[in-house]
């Protein structure tokens, strides 16, 4: 049986709850992490994840295939997070209680950063604009390609490349030398 994202999404559009559950299991963790980095708090990020999958359940039939399902999901999640930041109303249909919440276990990137000087990294990231932080998050934490990031953000690929270049340069200047070379002690 084909378990590709497009097939699962098509089956979701047909009302297949098991296909929807598989999509959720496959994508909830990275979407939750992305929402949490956008919103900075776990509770609103979990609500955004729920809003995202409510939108997927209701809108699966409108997926046109112009992007990957993964990119489409990140775009929905971003719109839901931005709506929450602006104080927009959440969707009225909640996900049922039988869906599991994504694991709270840290992602591998978080473990690596925790081993580095977390305070220095946090301070360096704080020097970035929201646009630079978001493009870094999509590139490294969500592992999206430049084209996928451009699609999620609604900007040209050249803008993504420029933002990544400038974000890396700002981070390189902001991080102490011993953090970027590894701690010696």
**Helix, strand or coil, per DSSP, at residue 8:** helix
pLDDT of residue 77: 95
pLDDT tens per residue across span 132-143 = 888 988 988 888
Q: What are phi and psi of 92, to 5 degrees?
A: -85, -15
What's the whole-model pTM score? Answer: 0.69
Residue 103: Cβ-neighbour burial (10 angstroms; 0-12, 13-18, 19+): exposed
Among the four given CATH numbers 1.10.1740.10, 1.10.620.20, 3.40.50.11440, 1.50.10.10, the one describing domain 1-104: 1.10.1740.10
106-185: CATH number: 1.10.10.10
pLDDT, the chain, mean: 81
What pLDDT score was predicted for residue 114? 56
Residue 140 · residue 130 · CB < 8 Å: no
**Minimal CA–CA distance to 155: which of 132, 171, 176?**
132
Q: Is the CA virtual torsion 156, 75, 107, 22 positive or negative?
A: negative
Q: What is the mean pLDDT of each run of 10 residues along the chain (185 residues)?
A: 88 95 95 92 94 95 92 95 75 42 55 59 80 88 90 92 89 67 46
Q: What is the pLDDT of residue 92?
A: 39
Q: Where are the domains of the chain?
A: 1-104, 106-185
pLDDT (0 to 100) of residue 153:
92
Using the Cα atoms of residue 169, residue 80, residue 145 and residue 118 in order, give the sign of their dihedral.
Answer: positive
Go through the chain and tell me how many residues it has: 185
What is the rounded distance in angstroms from the CA atom of residue 70 to the CA atom of residue 75? 9
């Amino acid at each position: 049986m084909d378990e590709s994202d497009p097939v699962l999404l098509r089956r979701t559009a047909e009302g297949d709850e098991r296909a929807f559950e598989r999509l959720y299991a496959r994508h909830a963790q990275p979407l939750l992490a992305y929402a949490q980095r956008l919103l900075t708090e776990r509770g609103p990020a979990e609500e955004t994840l729920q809003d995202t999958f409510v939108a997927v359940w209701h809108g699966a039939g409108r997926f046109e295939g112009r992007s990957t399902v993964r990119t489409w999901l990140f775009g929905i999640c971003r719109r839901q997070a931005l709506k929450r930041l602006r104080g927009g109303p959440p969707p009225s249909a909640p996900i049922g209680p039988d869906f599991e919440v994504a694991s709270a276990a840290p992602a591998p990137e978080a473990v690596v950063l925790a081993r580095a000087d977390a305070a220095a990294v946090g301070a360096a990231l704080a020097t970035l604009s929201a646009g630079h932080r978001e493009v870094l998050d999509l590139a490294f934490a969500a592992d999206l390609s430049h084209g996928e990031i451009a699609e999620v953000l609604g900007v040209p690929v050249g803008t993504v490349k420029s933002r990544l270049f400038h974000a890396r340069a700002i981070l390189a200047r902001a991080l102490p030398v011993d953090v970027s070379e590894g701690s010696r002690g």
